[in-house]
Amino acid sequence: MIDETLQDDAGLYVMRLLPPDEVVAFDKRLAADPELRALVEQLEDAAGHLAHVAPTVAPPPALKGRILSDIRHEVRVIPFTAGRKLAWVPWALAAGLAIAATMFWQQASIYRQQSVAYRQESLSYREQTRSQETLIAELRSRDALSSVQIASLSSKLATYEKALATVVYDAQQQRGLVKLDRFPKAGAEKDYQLWIIPTGGNPVSAGLVPVGDDGLARVSFKPTQAVKSIDAFAISVEPAGGSTQPRGEVVLVGK
């Protein structure tokens, strides 16, 4: 015979009203006490009927489709149950293992190939970046005493992670050259625009930089007004035709 306090706890347990620490103790007791289990089952049975007390409302028809679509994408492990015939089990396991091994081998092979490709690509990027940096260093040392400024622009945006931009600018001549590589298209009705940011002044447009389908651009430029002291160069995405001041997103900056 279950004492009355425990019977009351069974009611709270079914209704999920027992505090969490008491649930653990109750679960242990439940596992060991068939009479208590029977009581909980009776109480659950009664609670199950209470669902019908709610005013009847149909779920929206689209919900069924969503749920059916969900379960089709779920991976489910169907456990072995004792009542089934056992003879096929070792064969099924062996077949499963063989299939899994083949799949893993194929997948591993794909990963290996991808890994080699990524490594090669990464090496190629590193080499190109290194050669560009070497060239910049050379140009810098060669023109150390001249008015030529060379800048390598970079971006923190994921889209422009691999983009390379180099600006060579001769302040005395007030003209320069910009070279872009691995640039995505600026987008419909958009253009890339180069800006010179003078020390203590507003950005000065250095013109549009049209990027080809190959992601490359090489453009000579002359700023719209003379700039003697430069803080930085920047490239932004502007409405087609460009802007007098940067209005769009600045995608690369450097000095």
Partner 1 sequence: MSTNGDNQRQVDAELLSRVAAGDEDAFARLYDRFSPGLYSMVLKMTGDEAEAQDVLQDAFSHIWRKAMTFDPRRSAAFTWAVMVTRNKCIDRLRVRQRFARIAEKAAVEEQSAPKVDDISVGLAELNEERGRVRAALDQVTQDQRQAIELAFFNDFTHEEIAERLSTPLGTVKARIRRGLLKLREILEGQS
Question: Residue 148 corresponds to which amino acid?
Answer: V
Among 1, 32, 34, 81, binds partner 1 (CB under 8 A): 81
**Quick one: which segment of 28-36, 69-77, 138-146, 201-209 binds partner 1 (CB under 8 A)?**
69-77
Shortest separation between residue 184's beta carbon and partner 1, angstroms: 37
Tokens of 96: 């499963």
Q: How many of the other CB atoms lie within 10 Å of CB of 164?
A: 21
Bridge pairing between strands 204-208 and 190-198: antiparallel
Residue 67 found at the interface with partner 1 (CB under 8 A): yes
Size of the residue set binding partner 1 (CB under 8 A): 45
Residue 70 found at the interface with partner 1 (CB under 8 A): yes
Shortest separation between residue 94's beta carbon and partner 1, angstroms: 21
Contacts of 247 (CB under 8 A, 6+ apart): 236, 238, 239
Burial label, 178 (beta-carbon count in 10 A; 0-12, 13-18, 19+): buried
Q: In this structure, is the dihedral angle defined by the CA atoms of residues 56, 61, 63 and 65, taken in order, positive or negative? A: positive
Measured from the CB atom, is 76 or 85 closer to partner 1?
76
Measured from the CB atom, is 38 or 101 closer to partner 1?
38
**Quick one: which segment of 42-50, 175-183, 212-220, 224-232 binds partner 1 (CB under 8 A)?**
42-50
- CA dist., res. 176 & res. 108, Å (int): 50
Measured from the CB atom, is 49 or 156 closer to partner 1?
49
Among 34, 52, 83, 145, binds partner 1 (CB under 8 A): 52
- CA dist., res. 246 & res. 202, Å (int): 10
- CA dist., res. 189 & res. 182, Å (int): 20
Among 3, 16, 82, 156, binds partner 1 (CB under 8 A): 16
Bridge pairing between strands 250-254 and 230-239: antiparallel
Contact track, partner 1, 200-239, x by CB under 8 A:
----------------------------------------
